[in-house]
Amino acid sequence: MSYINLTADNFNASMKEEGLVILDFWAPWCGPCKMFGPVFEAASEKHGDIVFGKIDTESERDLAAHFNIRSIPTLIAVKDGVMVFNQAGALMAGQFEQLIQSLRGLDMDKVRADIASQPE
């Protein structure tokens, strides 16, 4: 499965309760976004079990605001319904692959326990 262009209309339907979703917030005028785009697209072809979504911050301002996007490109990863990664900046292909493998290996029971133990 390749990436999906996400909009306010299809965003919720694309989010999975189980599994991994990786979101790329970008804009057409952004040089680093253009450099990272092919890396993101190649990974989406390689990892068919992951949902890869691209969100154009120019046309989807409400989604960008919801995720408090201040810099692009920004990558956000959601695993089993929990945001587990949020970082601005383009990654090289090797770095992105390492990130994907790290996200795959996350122990979500431990992540949820860590979240629950945080003071409110």
DSSP H or E segment with residue 42:
helix 31-46
Question: Could you tell me the sign of the dihedral formed by the alpha carbons of 31, 35, 38, 44, in that order?
Answer: negative
Compute the distance between CA of residue 42 and CA of residue 118 in angstroms, rounded to an integer.
Answer: 37
| Omega before residue 32 within 30° of 0, cis | no
Residues marked as catalytic: 30, 33
How far does Cα 102 stand from its chain's mean position? 14
